[in-house]
Amino acid sequence: MNQEILDQINAIIPKENILGDEPMSRHTTFRTGGPADYFIRISSKDELSKLITVLKKENIDFFVTGNGSNLLVSDNGYHGVIISMSGLDTLQVDGNRILAGAGVLNSKVAQEALKHSLTGMEALAGIPGSVGGCLRMNAGAYGSEMKDVVESADIMFEDGHVETMSVDDMKLRYRGSRIGDEKLYVLGVTFTLFNGDKKAIEEAMADYAARRRDKQPLEFPSAGSTFKRPEGYFAGKLIQDAGLRGFTIGGAQVSDKHCGFVVNKGGATSRDVIDVIRHVQKTVLETSGVELDTEVILLGDFK
């Protein structure tokens, strides 16, 4: 990126929010990944729109992320600009509605709901991600999904215009949506919850948290559940039946606590992680005839 382009970006984004040659291991929950040419944190829809306009005009690749919780970046990094939505962090309560900026963590929305005795977010509280990313993939847990609690979202289209999109218009489905299909950008989300009993909400959240601690390898960096659930099967069971519990390459491992998770046991590279994932996919296909798709987005060169 030449100085002329940088000057254009500096006119839009405060310098302290522009990081050059930034290791993506600092910004993904896998804690792996090489440097992005630039990592830029935006704090308004105006900044996002203007920044994307410049990047498109100059033919510079870019990727928009939230908490980096479902992202595996190549060890070679990313030749382009990573745009972080973490600065879109407003959070307000209006009756039984919660309005959250795309960069707000899902867990923070759940805590705000608890504070105001609003029920509906309990099962989703432990999902590691921002509300924008969670909505894009219709994240879910314990029988609840984002589509069950979201009323609408402010969405920026590729041409920069913004629309308030209803939950029906988003076409949310199992781990997918129109938002992801059309490469749209979530700016903010409106949740519609229900009045409830604060103690009961707190107890339910504590119960889900205990179940997560008991069943999931929360002590290690990961992207959460690595594989989508194949229709009629459970990914973790297929992986276990294939004899892959604890399978390890370098610092990456199929968790011996929950086979649906690939974790960074310490010092893993993104290559280690993708090699484990691909070995799991190949072995499960050979042993059960089932193709496993990942929930994880790959960014950069993984050849």
Which residues are identified as catalytic?
175, 225, 295
CA distance 108 to 130: 9
Instruction: Give how far Cα 215 sits from Cα of 199, 239, 256, Å.
Output: 24, 16, 10
- Name the nearest CA neighbour of 260 among 141, 105, 174, 125: 141
In sequence order, the β-bridge partners of residue 83 are: 40, 64
Closest listed residue to residue 126, CA positions, set 208, 204, 69: 208
CA dist., res. 91 & res. 104, Å (int): 7
Structure tokens at 38: 């630039």
Distance CA 56, CA 76 (A): 23
Phi, psi dihedral angles at 181 (to 5 degrees): -60, -40
